[in-house]
Amino acid sequence: MNANRERLRALAGARSPAARMFVRCMLLAALIVPAGEASCGEGSAGASVTPADAGAAIYQRGILGSGEPLVAVHEGGVRLQGAGAACINCHRHSGLGSKEGNSTIPPITWRYLVHPRAQTAEDLDIPYVPGMHTDREPYTEETLARAVREGVNSEGQPLSSLMPQYALNDADMTALIGYLQRLDQRKPSGVTDTVLHFATIITPDADPVKRAGMLDVLQHYFADKNAFPLGATPPLRSTRKMMFMVNRRWELHVWELKGAPDTWHEQLRQYLARQPVLAVVSGLGGRNWAPVHDFCEEEAVPCLFPNVEVPVETDHDFYSVYFSKGVLLESDLIAKRILDEAGARTAPKAVKRVWQVYRTGDNGERGAQALAAALKGHGIAVSNHALAPGDGIAHVLHRMPREDVLVLWLRAPDIAALGHAPPASDTVFMSGLLGGLDNTPLPASWRGVTRIAYPFDLPEGRRVRVDYAFGWFTIRQIPMVAPQVQADTYLACGLLAETLSHLVDAFVREYLVERIQDMLERRILTGYYPRLTLAPGQRFASKGGYIVRFAGPDRMKLVADGDWIVP
């Protein structure tokens, strides 16, 4: 194990693209375990895998049919085991590979492995994917088995040094090859020769103002995309030249949900049956996005950057990606600041209790739950106070001891109502997302003691990055009724367009998600966020935020109360 780590450290400092690619692939593994230890998660050592699932278990989790961990040895003696040896780490969920600098991991789905040797693009009848090998003999099941075990290609030549050699018996090899044969057999959904179909999903409790603003951006973006497609000259498609991009029209389908959340799955199923889509782009949720998230995971439909205050936080889902954790990130920011200040030597007094105030059933309740969980075990008591419909905030605050920390998970009308009461504490935190961000109506008397969880870049820092979108809104006469939601929607559309231009005609849903992950960190115009990254396995592109306070003689300007925080 120590030898493996030293080898990785040495390679991490190398400038070679191949070395960087190797380190990247290894670090994407769930873990690298020493010989003799069980691999992680489902299917630990000794738990056999059914034959139907054996190929997927080997590829995705590094679990053999017997339940034992997969073992591989990389050039240089690095031993990989279990999840660390799984094919998915380099060849990805789609099987279409990855790229780092000049080094590429080739596609290994069956049609790319067995495609006949092609001398020119005219001979190709499969979509172009970086790293695809067109000038070698096609693989057979026998030569592929040899490649996996011995590290030589279909012509007997050594494979790239990035490729480990795997110890697989005949049954496991058959299962793995069967999985690769099945991996790309599905016809692209939502794709025709002339149209790419997309959906956006709106829950019935979504804010109507945000709904109007989001749809305005989506509809104008799709109209612009169709009016000015990439390469608006005659399409480059012929009956055989499938590696060249075909200019397809984008069509948007608005899936409006109705009724109770337990009926949404069936509504979405019917929508998808009537019109398959390649992906869901943007979207707008209210208090509960989980049924939509779960549907997209079950149906393998990418759900790209929906506008939700409480996204679904999981370790294992793949198809849903978000810009931010929303109020869950805010709870992390507040928890870190409370704990940091409680542990500081200069702290004037110990924090003994935190009071939280939120509206029953609103998203602030989820934020309060997350903050209480984060503070649990640190000796800080949490007292939660839920406001029922019709309740005012004053009757809760008048009972609060002044030495306690107050956290407000409230929306603008309740924040404005604080003007009828003096500050209840000398230390107040509030949710920026719920309270209105830069336009919060917090009364002047509260501004000196209140700090705001702010999961975005500050206005001065993001100005250049949002000016292009805001200028685009102005030219197209789109009213800015919900600037942050509209900027995020525009950013989601731009990321989709940029990614599709690199996909060429390889319309595989998993590949779409993977390419967005790869390209995101190179994006310059990132809207409200200082930086966006999505490593494989991550679902949230922006990882941090600020705690901000009010400054200036009139306490109207928001400034950072400390550095950018990544909890």
Three-state DSSP state, 80: strand
Q: Picking from 228-242, 300-314, 387-401, which range would have the lowest pLDDT averaged per residue?
A: 228-242
pLDDT tens by residue, 443-467? 999 999 999 999 999 999 999 999 9
Report the alpha-carbon angle 567-430-457, nearest 5: 55
- pLDDT for res 185: 72
Residue 1: pLDDT band (50, 70, 90) is: very low
pLDDT tens by residue, 355-367? 999 999 999 999 9
Domains 195-324+460-531 and 327-454+547-560 share a fold: yes
pLDDT tens by residue, 498-554? 999 988 889 999 999 999 999 898 899 999 999 999 988 899 999 999 999 999 878
Task: For residues 42-69, give the mean pLDDT.
Answer: 78
Give the HSE-up count for residue 447: Cα atoms under 13 Å, Cβ half-sphere: 18
- pLDDT for res 50: 66
Task: For residues 12-34, give the mean pLDDT.
Answer: 47
Mean model confidence pLDDT for the chain: 87
**CATH assignment, 195-324+460-531:** 3.40.50.2300
φ, ψ for residue 172, nearest 5 deg: -70, -35
pTM for this structure?
A: 0.88
Closest CA relative to residue 296, chosen from 312, 308, 274, 315: 312
Residue 295: CB partners within 8 Å, gap ≥ 6? 264, 265, 268, 269, 301
- pLDDT for res 536: 83
Asked whether residue 269 carries a pLDDT value surpassing 50, the answer given is: yes
Query: Which CATH architecture group holds 327-454+547-560?
Result: 3-Layer(aba) Sandwich (3.40)
Residue 274: pLDDT band (50, 70, 90) is: very high
Which range, 9-18, 227-236, 277-286, has the best average confidence (pLDDT)?
A: 277-286
Asked whether residue 22 carries a pLDDT value surpassing 70, the answer given is: no
Asked whether residue 103 carries a pLDDT value surpassing 70, the answer given is: yes
Q: Picking from 191-200, 244-253, 405-414, which range would have the lowest pLDDT averaged per residue?
A: 244-253
Task: For residues 7-17, give the mean pLDDT.
Answer: 47
Asked whether residue 242 carries a pLDDT value surpassing 80, the answer given is: no
Asked whether residue 230 carries a pLDDT value surpassing 60, the answer given is: no
Asked whether residue 127 carries a pLDDT value surpassing 90, the answer given is: no
- pLDDT for res 121: 58
- Between strands 98-100 and 103-105, the pairing is antiparallel
Of residues 52 and 391, more confidently modeled = 391
Asked whether residue 15 carries a pLDDT value surpassing 70, the answer given is: no
What is the residue extent of each domain of the chain? 2-183, 195-324+460-531, 327-454+547-560
CB burial string 152-187: b at 16+ within 10 A, e below: ebbeeeebbbbbbbbebeeebbbbbbbbbbebbeee
Asked whether residue 286 carries a pLDDT value surpassing 80, the answer given is: yes
- pLDDT for res 35: 33
